[in-house]
Structure 1
């Protein structure tokens, strides 16, 4: 019997996706209503960051970092063939994440330096633990995943440094979002065509997604250049041109993956739709730099749409697959994903909606909250219960 079979601890700490996906869902469910109360002036934030900095920081380094950790601590064992991190080490890592959320929220009464030291410990531990597994498994080709994750840890430190010295973390906000978007371009560009290829091959399709090639490398380079320019000078003409080029490149990249052929598989189609928000976000950044759109539109298309949509789709699929459930989205999870995309559209168009007498910020916050309420209600029990024996599928795999 292997060590994998002899684990007798709580199911919640049996695999990396369980505690971090559950924590991310519950945190996303709570943090946006809290932000809405802060924005409305009903609640005063006691932490070291300004309200806007706190909002963006917690969506990137709170919610986003939790999903990244859950994904990596689930994917790396598959890449390396080593046993997954589980039990006490996983519980301690979760405790680091919780400590960061408590400290940043001002519930400890500590100063900004102490809060920064507590909060940065989580991503540092993630980088160290993932590096140990990849090196130990001699899985050298996946070492590149450590680069954006390490940069995300450094971005968190820079966020605090800028906030403490400049009063707000203007560059830190964009850098955090940019790194999450790049992770979607990198990892999404790996899993979306792979899952699509498998699903289409099972159905005897003659045309399959184009395999990773030099064009994908060009797309990643173009996306990185556009994101760097946006972080440094979002309204510069060069940023407009780079973002426009990135939008075109990634739209073409997505079309090469045959997403339209997956319309019978909602769970798979979600991944394609979430990735679509990346080129749409780049297009919005280009429009903002050219003075044709608000600066917030592209930020929210990328943040809520691309990051929010992709993380929700990945959490759904990974949870189903690793807990023994069939890969069938069903109406509840399909609605949750749809509400996230609608929230992105509403928040990006908040200024236009205001002319019609509608409060886009209120509506987007409500849509996001309902979406994560549905997500937590559906997959939450699966994340804390033991894995079940997979039943014979009642629908084609991948739906």
Structure 2
């Protein structure tokens, strides 16, 4: 019998260094906050506009309602999605700045506190997000995220500065166009690989994925519309409409080349539905600049409620389901709930287009939207812990 020598105990020089604990994702905090705020702010605003509730100072006008949809809700989702893993202290500090900006705008709009808190939040978001896209991205299309986020941050501060109603409306329209560009780019980068992977699992090959030519063309058209929208000349309005209509048509072409009729998975269908709202919103926005009889509010709600609501809902649910279950379709009930957002969008767009009496439709839209995001907040709470084997899973895949 041969005695094996005892293995030497590892000393400090040969010991394997302990792995650093992974930083928590910022979306674990920002997504639930955004969902709860969406569920709260829209019905409060609608009820105040209908005279059924006392209006908070920041929600006394339709512009205040749009301000909080864009710079309150949407910016929180953007922060959660783009920040990635961050030290918990930084995430909570930035979330506190966002919350202070919301409270100060609702109670003291156009105050120095509203302006300062919005500016600090925007600066913190830009500090972390911009270098990731400006430094790492090589193609100009990938680098567009950085200026869009920076511009949204600047506009959020400008919209809290109290320059007047006409200035606020121009800022909100610019912000909505920036969000449309971000939804087009980021939505496409999520949908294309997801639909292609699903097609492959079904034994098919999807040739059209990112479609860089269409992507580049639409980003250029939306950038042109952003510049032209700042001018008040009649010719620039016509050119803005042409750019937006063309962008909407190209978005439809991109969507059709993904062959959505072959897709039977609910989580992907909700993403595709949100992208459909985006194309429809761009078309309506462009047509409203050509046709004075087409109400601008229908355009705004197709983009803000239909596209922004559906895409942010789908992305937040998808991100946290992958993080918790490693499967974006693990909770199919949430995809059915997402249809309430499209119901809310239809309740805001159709009565405006058909010139119907709107109070009942407004209440239906607010109730549908609020129920959807309350359900999402519940899901996000249940998905707050990670899957035991998800240390290498990227929640934004």
Pairwise TM-score range, normalised by the shorter structure: 0.7 to 0.9
- Name the CA shift for 1:357/1:45 in 2 (closer, same or farther; >3 Å): closer
SS at structure 1 position matched to 2:86: coil
Query: Over residues 22-58 of structure 1, what are the superposed CA-to-partner deviations in whole Å (9 max), with x where a residue is unaligned?
Result: 10101001111211232122213234x7532221111
TM-score computed with the length of structure 2 as normaliser: 0.84
- Name the CA shift for 1:40/1:139 in 2 (closer, same or farther; >3 Å): same
Query: Over residues 86-144 of structure 1, what are the superposed CA-to-partner deviations in whole Å (9 max), with x where a residue is unaligned?
Result: 321111111111111111111xx586233211122112101101235557x84555543
- The aligned residue for residue 366 of structure 1 is 367
**The structure with more radius of gyration:** 2
How many residues end up aligned between the 2 structures?
367
For residues 336 and 234 of structure 1, what CA distance do their matches in structure 2 show? 43
- The aligned residue for residue 20 of structure 2 is 3
- 1:171 equivalent to 2:181? Answer no
SS at structure 2 position matched to 1:359: helix
- Name the CA shift for 1:349/1:191 in 2 (closer, same or farther; >3 Å): same
TM-score computed with the length of structure 1 as normaliser: 0.84
- The aligned residue for residue 191 of structure 1 is 190
- The aligned residue for residue 70 of structure 2 is 60
For residues 286 and 372 of structure 1, what CA distance do their matches in structure 2 show? 29
- 1:308 equivalent to 2:309? Answer yes
For residues 339 and 165 of structure 1, what CA distance do their matches in structure 2 show? 35
- The aligned residue for residue 46 of structure 1 is 57
- The aligned residue for residue 10 of structure 1 is none
- The aligned residue for residue 395 of structure 2 is none
Kept in 2, the 8 Å contact 1:209–1:258? The answer is: no
For residues 26 and 206 of structure 2, what CA distance do their matches in structure 1 show? 35
- The aligned residue for residue 12 of structure 2 is none
Correspondence list, 1:54-93, <5 A: 54-74=64-84, 84-93=85-94
- Name the CA shift for 1:25/1:239 in 2 (closer, same or farther; >3 Å): same
- Name the CA shift for 1:212/1:127 in 2 (closer, same or farther; >3 Å): same
- 1:298 equivalent to 2:296? Answer no
Kept in 2, the 8 Å contact 1:200–1:208? The answer is: no
Correspondence list, 1:1-399, <5 A: 1-5=18-22, 14-41=24-51, 42-47=53-58, 50-74=60-84, 84-106=85-107, 112-133=111-132, 138=136, 142-161=142-161, 163-166=162-165, 169-230=168-229, 232=231, 236-262=237-263, 264-289=264-289, 290-328=291-329, 330-351=331-352, 355=356, 359-383=360-384, 385-389=385-389
For residues 46 and 25 of structure 1, what CA distance do their matches in structure 2 show? 22
Moved more, 354-363 or 30-39: 354-363
- Name the CA shift for 1:315/1:206 in 2 (closer, same or farther; >3 Å): same
SS at structure 2 position matched to 1:169: helix
Moved more, 274-283 or 137-146: 137-146
Kept in 2, the 8 Å contact 1:123–1:153? The answer is: yes
| Deviation, structure 1 residue 313 | 0.7
Moved more, 299-308 or 123-132: 123-132
- Name the CA shift for 1:357/1:169 in 2 (closer, same or farther; >3 Å): closer
- The aligned residue for residue 3 of structure 2 is none
Root-mean-square deviation (Å): 2.6
Kept in 2, the 8 Å contact 1:339–1:368? The answer is: yes
- Name the CA shift for 1:335/1:358 in 2 (closer, same or farther; >3 Å): farther
| Deviation, structure 1 residue 167 | 6.4
SS at structure 1 position matched to 2:328: coil
For residues 233 and 328 of structure 2, what CA distance do their matches in structure 1 show? 40
For residues 262 and 228 of structure 2, what CA distance do their matches in structure 1 show? 35
SS at structure 2 position matched to 1:323: helix
Kept in 1, the 8 Å contact 2:324–2:383? The answer is: yes
Give the gaps of 5 or more residues in structure 1.
Answer: 8-13, 75-83, 391-399
SS at structure 1 position matched to 2:146: helix
Kept in 1, the 8 Å contact 2:323–2:386? The answer is: no
- The aligned residue for residue 11 of structure 1 is none
| Deviation, structure 1 residue 373 | 1.7
Give the gaps of 5 or more residues in structure 2.
Answer: 1-17, 391-397
